Structure 1
Amino acid sequence: MKIVRTLPLITTLPLLLTACGEASLPEAADGNDLTACTDADCTVRITTGDKIPLDDRFGMTPIKVTVDEDTVTFESTDGDSGSFSTTGTVDVRNQLQNVSIEALGIKDGEAVVKVSPA
């Protein structure tokens, strides 16, 4: 008599189907609280149009954010005639003046970024 074991397939099928879905964004320790970034030490969830405020000591206007399908663009000025921008993908460290910004995840028009002093 032949015995067929189907239990392993039944118990692993939901796991296989879940693994086929897209990964979610990583946890943002500071949530959507962009004011947590004024000291250039935060991990936040951002969307297009957000502005990351920084303390005056960094010499930049708030960093304007644009989130695309798989990139994030950061733009700022020195308050006078100087302007700067950078565009990055996930796990690429970008630098504006003396501030480092790294996208930890990008999905559905949102991104989680880590901001730190450069």
Structure 2
Amino acid sequence: MPTLARLIAAALLLTLAACADSSATPTTTPPTTAPATATPATTTPPATGSATPGTASPPPPTASTPTPSAGPQAADRNDLAACKDGDCEVDIKADDRIAIDKRFGVERLTISSLDADEVRVTLLGSSGGLQVEGMNVSVSGNCVNGRCRDEGNLSLAPGRPGRINDLRVEVTHLTDDRAILRLSPE
């Protein structure tokens, strides 16, 4: 009989012998070398909180408030209202809306999206008054029921600022899910 078959037969015999005499006290047997394809006849029950075989583990509990990302903090933190006067430094994330005083010719900035490479901003301004400089700029006029506005898009990245009318717009810090946006009048 080949060695592998003997090892499997011995392991099976020991397992069956242990199961047959359930009243006997368990004894420790010296470990035997079993082939990688052999599977034990009994399994240890899973520890409390772990998944049973064949099921997915439950997700770990999450905190109700996100922890701030490592890195610099904006002077105005996440107080987007601080930008109303055109002079602020705020933490931003996708879908944030920033209201700007109409005297700057732009009413609102919306953070369309951001990733590790750039922040994409959608602009809404008064008709004919939106002048934009920067990366990936587009500006168009839109009239609905006699009410005209300018709409535009602008991309920003650290070291690549933009300008919206008389406002300098720059990103000073950028990660996959947050950025620091600085607005300052020119």
- The TM-score normalised by the length of structure 1 is 0.73
Q: Is the 8 A contact 1:28 1:44 kept in 2?
A: yes
User: How high is the sequence identity, in percent, across the aligned residues?
Assistant: 29
Q: Is the 8 A contact 2:118 2:174 kept in 1?
A: yes
Q: Shift in Å at residue 96 of structure 1?
A: 1.8
Please state if 1:84 is matched with 2:152: yes
Deviation string, structure 1 residues 22-60 (Cα, Å, up to 9, x no partner): x94322000000000001111000000001111121122
Query: Larger C-alpha radius of gyration, 1 or 2?
Result: 2
Q: Distance in 2 between the 1:74 and 1:26 partners?
A: 21
Q: Distance in 1 between the 2:99 and 2:162 partners?
A: 17
Q: Distance in 2 between the 1:78 and 1:101 partners?
A: 15
Q: Is the 8 A contact 1:46 1:110 kept in 2?
A: yes
Structure 1 or 2: more strand by fraction: 1
Please state if 1:97 is matched with 2:97: no
Q: Is the 8 A contact 1:46 1:112 kept in 2?
A: yes
Supply the AA of the counterpart residue of 2:115. Answer: D
Q: Is the 8 A contact 1:35 1:52 kept in 2?
A: yes
Supply the AA of the counterpart residue of 2:104. Answer: F
Q: Is the 8 A contact 1:38 1:54 kept in 2?
A: yes
Please state if 1:110 is matched with 2:157: no
Cα 1:88/1:27, change in 2 over 3 Å: same
Q: Distance in 2 between the 1:81 and 1:59 partners?
A: 10
| Greater relative contact order (Cα < 8 A, sep 6+) | 1
Structure 2 counterpart of 1:26: 72
Q: Is the 8 A contact 2:108 2:125 kept in 1?
A: no
Q: Shift in Å at residue 61 of structure 1?
A: 2.3
RMSD between aligned residues? 1.7
Supply the AA of the counterpart residue of 1:29. Answer: A
- Count of aligned residue pairs for this structure pair: 96
Structure 1 residue runs of 4+, over 4 Å off?
none
1:105 match: secondary structure: strand
Q: Distance in 1 between the 2:70 and 2:177 partners?
A: 12
- Counterpart of 2:102 (choices 56, 72, 75) is 56
Structure 1 counterpart of 2:66: none
Supply the AA of the counterpart residue of 2:166. Answer: N
2:106 match: secondary structure: coil
